[in-house]
Amino acid sequence: MTIDFAVPLAPEIARNVTAALEEDLGVGDLTASLIDANRRSRATVISREPGVLCGCDWFDECVRRLDPQARIIWQAADGERIAANQTLCDIEANARALLSAERSALNFLQLLSAVASKARRYADAIDGTRAQVVDTRKTLPGLRIAQKYAVRCGGGGNHRLALWDAILIKENHIHAAGGIAPALAAARRIAEQAGERCRFIQIEVESLDELDTALAAGATMILLDNFSLDTMREAVRRNAGRAVLEASGNVSLETIRAIAEIGVDRISIGALSKDVKALDLSMRFVD
């Protein structure tokens, strides 16, 4: 499965794996030294619960950094739904290398699969509406790109990747800039200077009056912060398709369908990447 993503992943994977292996191995794996240095072994990775697979390339990089000749054959791909007790891949590698890489490789696979699985649950919950689930910048430090890729694998979309690729004007920015209209005017100047690097300008509003002010100032993308369903419904009516509307705040699996059916374009959810429980996966040696 091909997952559309905004930035090259290879440099991020290399950086993530370097940090993970340095953190875990340090000057050497003492326990793996129990094993004959020349022994080669086979192993499988198995899912213990259903979900969406993500992180295969991170897993591969961990293993092949320690054994470039390792053979890894995947039975599923990033973005695919997986079942409990499903064999995900077969591995043949140097036993010491595989044991040393195991924890880091599984950490990536379990975390990213958890993010993808959560994104899939939210995306499925609003299937058939116009709305799209998107992530936020509430990611684990150092794993921003990996987690945003995982959201894509789960059927969600990405908000801005970071502070450098889009403008999101929030309450404190508005206050410091002297109001909604001055903030938007300044943002347009900055976006013009940034050129293609700035993908969009979005402004956050906390009331219908602020929405009206933003629309009058020419806003084309507006974030509705913690609006009630009734207020959000009125916001959609007043907007009348002029700006892209995004709902944010207190979104759960129980509430997201009702929000989507109001007619907003996007629903951002920090929990996609912030509040995740690792998917239960395990590696077992078979010889």
Which of the residues are catalytic? Answer: 103, 138, 170, 204, 225
Contact 117, 271 (CB under 8 A): no
Q: How far apart are CA 97 and CA 10, in angstroms?
A: 22
Q: Give kind and range of the element (H or E) at residue 109.
A: helix 95-125
Beta strands per DSSP E along the chain: 40-47, 51-52, 71-74, 81-82, 87-94, 132-134, 167-169, 201-205, 221-225, 244-248, 266-268, 281-285
Query: What residues are paired with 46 via a beta bridge?
Result: 87, 282
Q: How far apart are CA 96 and CA 35, in angstroms?
A: 6
Q: In the numeric block, which tokens belong to residue 126?
A: 């609003």
- With b meaning 16 or more CB within 10 Å and e meaning fewer, what string describes 196-205? eebbebbbbb
Continuous H helices in 126-228: 144-153, 171-177, 180-194, 208-216
Closest by alpha carbon to 270, among 248, 253, 247? 248
Contact 149, 54 (CB under 8 A): yes
- What is the number of alpha carbons within 13 Å of residue 263 lying toward its C-beta? 14
Q: State phi, psi for 138 to the nearest 5 degrees.
A: -85, 75
Q: Determine the residue type at 163.
A: L
